[in-house]
Structure formats: structure tokens, C-alpha cells
Structure 1
Amino acid sequence: MTTEFPGGTGQAVGREPFPLRNRSVLVTGASRRAGIGFAIACTMASYGANLVLHHFRPHDRQQEWGADDLNTVVGGVRRHALPEASVVELGGDLADPAEPERLMNAAVNAAGHIDVLVCNHALTGEDGALGEITAQELDRHWAIDARSSILLAQAFAGQHDGRPGGSVVFMTSGQALGPLPGEVAYAAAKAALAGVTTTLADQLADRGIRVNTVNPGPVDTGYLTAEMWQLVEPMFPFGRYGRPEDPARLIAWLATDEAAWITGQIINTEGGFGRWRPRGQGQGA
């Protein structure tokens, strides 16, 4: 179905069922089926994209949930993909300043060209409040949460040949909307990505690349307990916590040509979390 807008360019406008067909996407931090990266990859795959999934297994093993089975992760993404599309995985420690360029080169070797970069990775775990934070923690979060994403964007731009569809999506957090108690280093690093978005978007526009940053809001990636939900439930107007597919839909759409006029934006997708009156206290009829 197509629609022609009055006063427009005269071009027919319609919805392509596979808007990322023949485009290749690198998603970092896509190693757990409960995670946002996996949901992004699955959604991109359902849009027709080829996928390169980045992971760093030692980090996953350090978490209480442990590392997922990579074959199952890749298979889960492949089930959403077109028969002709490729899905591959690549490991790498993005704390290493040389890793972003190496990862991008490996992704290009696997896919031929990377059209879309999604920097979903992050260092997990509370780092400390003011008075507790160390220089080491500040440096670790800067290296993994911010520096690596900027270097990945640089490597992405270096391999991009100007073809349509160039897109970079960073992931920030809600540090601009409310406090992140006990996470000074994480908040500072994620704020850096939001802060540099407009600068990078301006520079890369001449290369045909759009740059946007998404705050996914609180998303249950396997850590939410009944006690935690009881504490925060009144802050969610729709009566539920965020799910990985919520930010994934926005991020996948930002990679399509439907979002071709959107760049330099920091977009929050968190269901009104924390900024409306508690549930049950709305205006009466």
C-alpha cells in the first residue's frame, strides 16, 4: 500500500516489509537472550538485515546470571532472519583501545560492509557513590561505556562508502532525567555519549551517516525481583516494567529509511517512568 502526500515530492510512500534487506548491522553486547542486544538483533533480522553479533564472554561469566550459550543466541536471531541473510558472532574486549577498530574490520570481513552500528554494550555493576568512587572505576567505565563507542563510530565511518542507510545508535541511560544512585562512573560515561551525539551527527552528516542516542529506560533483562517491582511499580504509568523489545523496536526503526530525517537526537523510550503521578492517582472522569 502506498500513499502520495499532497504538496510533497511526488514520490510514493509505502511500508517496505523488509526495510533493512541487504543491509548489515553490527550490534555490540548481543550475547544474552534476556538482553536488549538480542532483542535488537532479532528485530533487525526480522526487518531483513544481516547481523554481526558482538560479545565478550568473560564479562558475562562474572555476572550472577552467567554466560548464555552462543549457539543458541545466534540460532535465536537466525530464526527471525530471511533465508538469504547471514548471522555471525564475534568476540572482543572493548576495554582494549585497539579493539573497536579490530572488531569493525572483522565485521566488515564477515559482512562485506557495515551499514548500521548499534553500541549496546556496557560495563555492568554498581561502581560507587561520591566518596566511594575510585579513579580506576572512572577509567574503566569511560573506556568501556564511552570511549569504545566513540572509537567504534570512528571505525564505522572509516569503512562507510557513502551508500544510503548509514546509521549509528548509541545507548545512554536516564542520568539526564533523574539520579542514578551509586553509579557515578556509569552515569558520567553514559552522559558523555549523549553529550557528543550532536557533534558526531554534524560531522558525519556529510558522509550520509545519521547518529542518534537512545535511553531505553529501566528494562528487565533478568534482574528484576518481586521486591524490586513492588518498590517501583507506582512509577510506571502502564503498570509494567520495560521489556527488551520496547527499546529494540525504536532502535531498529531508527536504522530504516523511515527515520532518514532523524539525526543528532537523544530519545527516551521508558513508558513515562518516574515523571507522571503514581498510578491510580490520575484525573477522574
Structure 2
Amino acid sequence: MTFSIVARSADGLAHGVAVASKFLGVGAAVPAALAGVGAVATQSYANLAYRPQTLALLQTGVSAAYTVRALVAGDGGPVAQRQVGVVGADGEGGTFTGGDCHPWAGGAAGDGFAIQGNMLAGPQVVEAMGVAWQASVGESRLAFRLLAALRAGDLAGGDRRGRQSAALLVVAKGMGYGGTSDVWVDLRVDDHPDPVSELTRLLDLHTLYFERPDPALLMPLTGATAEEVRKLLDGKGHTQPGLDDALADWAGIENLEERLVAGAIDPLVLDQLRGR
């Protein structure tokens, strides 16, 4: 009833899950992840106990494949209808598809990823996701790699019953809001006619509001740039004597505080200030 990818970033610092389904609020049931440890997707008559069990097992240093075997062995429910994917801090991912899952059902795993789906349009869904995952190796941001794979699966037919919900979860040490959380991205589309496209829109907004600026792109608040910023801020009623203070006052109202750097301005922030 669902297709997902569980993966680790190339540098090993981030872990996450992207999932879509003809199921209400799939993000509330399928994904779980713990920074520096790993991630899991439990689906097809999902056993939600797999989520804490997986993370506890991975914390002991066991492999993703062993974790999958342990989950299945310890499940007293309808294991033949279960599906699960796991990735740990290193090594290959692990995936399991019970023999009684609604067809088409199956998965694939490799270094740092596991892809799985059930009640799919066909094996091409998993295959397309794998191709997209490998093709995005040049993208350093795990959230965008996961979403690219999910989008490929959706375009290949996805859940054969149709579309309803999608979710994206990414964790990494200190990468959450304000540096006080490990939850880097946690976006959910619970009920929508085109949930993967909506998830893409939300990730673009998340990037604007919550990603930190690229130091190489920062513009010093001097000269003509400082003059323009001051004029724009004055026009919006932010007239504090210090330019950094005035910019921070405006940015806090616009939810752009994560992109502030003293003495400089992010080009994306400047575009927003200009009203673009």
C-alpha cells in the first residue's frame, strides 16, 4: 500500500525516509530515524513497534540486515504481510517483503539505502527509485536525494490504487531549528490529490526558511548593498540604528532568522526583502 526509500547521506551524517501511499497520513505511521544511528520504514500492515525496536538494535552496532532479521523473528503478528526497510550508520541497507504482501510487492537494497513497496503498479516503481537515487549522488542534501527517488517512483506508477499522502523525515546532529534539535526535515502531506508534488513545494519552502546560508554566497553589508538594505528596511518600518538589528527585527517577523549572519546578508534574504 506504500512505497518508500530509507537512506544515509554520502558523508554518513544524515539519515532519513521518504514515503508515499494511498493511505491517510502515511508520515504518522511509516518513518522513524535517530541522528547518528539510522532510519526505518515500516509498512504493509505496519508494525509500529518496529520503529523503536530498529533504532534500539542499530544503537548496539548491529547491521541493517541483522536488524531486519531480528524484527521479523520477534514479530508475533502477520509477518508474511509485513514490509520493512532499514539503514544504519554504515554498510548496506536491509529490506524485507513478506510473501503475502499485496502485489506487486518487493524491494532492493545497497550501500546506504533500502527501497521497498507494496500494492505497486509494478517492479518498475522500485527500479525507477533506485536509478534516481544513484543518479543524484552529486546532491549533498539527503532530503533532496530522497525526494528525487520518491518522485521517480511516483512517476513510474507508485501505489496502484492512487495517491493520498507523502512524508519526508531527515535527521542529523544539531541540524534542526536553532541547532537545538537533530530533526533537520520533518514534512508531511496527509491528504492531497498530488502529495509528492506538494511535498516538493514544502521542501522548497523549508529550504528558504530553515536552511542555513552558504558562506560562499554571503554579501557583506557594506557600500551599495548596505545602502539598499537600509532603504528597504526603513520603508518597512524597521529603523533601528544598527543595520544588523534592523535586519534581524524584519527577518524575525518573516521567519528568516535561520539565514541571518552578522555583517552580511544572504542573497535569498535580500530577494525576500526586495519583495521577490
TM-score, with normalisation over the residues of structure 2?
0.36
User: Of the two, which has the highest radius of gyration?
Assistant: 2
Structure with higher strand content = 2
